[in-house]
Amino acid sequence: MKLAQKSPSVGFPLTDAPEKESRLSFYKRWGRLAGPYFEWQIRPFLPYLGKRVADIGCGLGNFTPFLEDRELYLGLEPEPELRREFGQRFSSSNIKLADHGDITTPEAVHEIESHQMDSILCVNVLEHIKEDGLALSNMVKGIQSDGHLCLLVPALPWLYGTLDEMDGHYRRYTKKGLLRLAREEGVEVVKIYYSNLIGALGWFFKGKILKEKSHGDENFTLMNKILPFVSFTENIVKPFIGMSLVMVVKKI
């Protein structure tokens, strides 16, 4: 299956659903159905996100509503179609779309620096970038000293299947591998842990056993139904494996 590209370095998800859903339509459907999941994803990061937050790969602004009270929200998005939609959705003076959306470029680093961003949010984006080490290095370069970088990435390479291929993932991460990338940048690792054990089981079944190649509405509906249980149990004890890895690092 061919994968479209956001830029020469960034993979982009497509579905091959019977209705030939466009990329923009998929993201709109995802945003409409997965609101509770977005809130759950950003919740662990909120204590570390400061007054000036850069959101890498902001897409249509799934996390923007949770950060509207910040002094400045700067969204980075390389895909023109998504940039146009984001601009139509948000018009507040403290919400800006970066001129340079590709975090692997020097221009994006300079733009983050020029806005004096004190924190960066990067959720389910790094796996779409071929040069993930360069992307992570540029994020660290861009933020202010003592600022935090908040990352969420797909975990466990053995989970890689048809859904990853469809989503344009170059890889899934191990804890050891993600820690190595972070430590190469000389940052302080504040926390790192696996998240969403039940999601990992579902991803394995759908992507490795059934070999599904599209995200149907039922996937989002099921996710929303089990989310309260996942949230409750994982607040008590973090799982030993999970669908995702959550990491917060501090620039020193």
Closest by alpha carbon to 57, among 15, 20, 103, 89?
103
Cα–Cα nearest to 128, from 112, 152, 144: 152
pLDDT of residue 37: 94
pLDDT at residue 3 is higher than 50: no
Asked whether 252 and 186 are in contact (CB, 8 A), the reply is yes
Q: Is the pLDDT of residue 10 over 60?
A: no
Beta strand 244-250 with 148-154 is: antiparallel
Size (the chain), residues: 252
> Residue range 113-125: average pLDDT?
98
pLDDT value, residue 19: 52
Across 116-125, average pLDDT: 98
Examine the pLDDT at 17 and tell me if it is beyond 70. Answer: no
Q: What is the mean pLDDT of residues 18-23?
A: 66
pLDDT band at 30; cut points 50, 70, 90:
confident
Beta strand 119-123 pairing with 148-154? parallel
The model's pTM is 0.90
Q: Report the Cα 195 to chain-centroid distance in Å.
A: 14
User: What are the residue boundaries of the structural domains of the chain, listed by start?
Assistant: 25-250
The pLDDT of residue 13 is above 90: no
Q: 108-113 long-range CB contacts below 8 Å, 24 or more apart?
A: 108/76, 108/138, 108/142, 109/138, 109/141, 109/142, 111/74, 111/142, 112/54, 112/74, 112/76, 112/139, 112/142, 112/143, 113/141, 113/142
Instruction: Examine the pLDDT at 2 and tell me if it is beyond 50.
Output: no
What span, in angstroms and rounded, lies between the C-alpha atoms of 28 and 190? 33
Q: For residue 205, what are its two tokens?
A: 């079944």
Q: Across residues 118-125, what is the average pLDDT? A: 98
Provide the 3-class DSSP secondary structure of residue 126. Answer: helix
pLDDT in tens, 33-74: 999 999 999 999 999 999 999 999 999 999 999 999 999 999
**Residue 148 backbone phi and psi in degrees, to 5:** -110, 140
Structure confidence by residue, pLDDT tens digits, 214-234: 888 888 888 889 999 999 999
Average pLDDT over residues 149-170: 96
> Hey, which CATH number is domain 25-250, 3.40.50.150, 3.30.160.270, 3.10.129.10, 1.10.357.10?
3.40.50.150
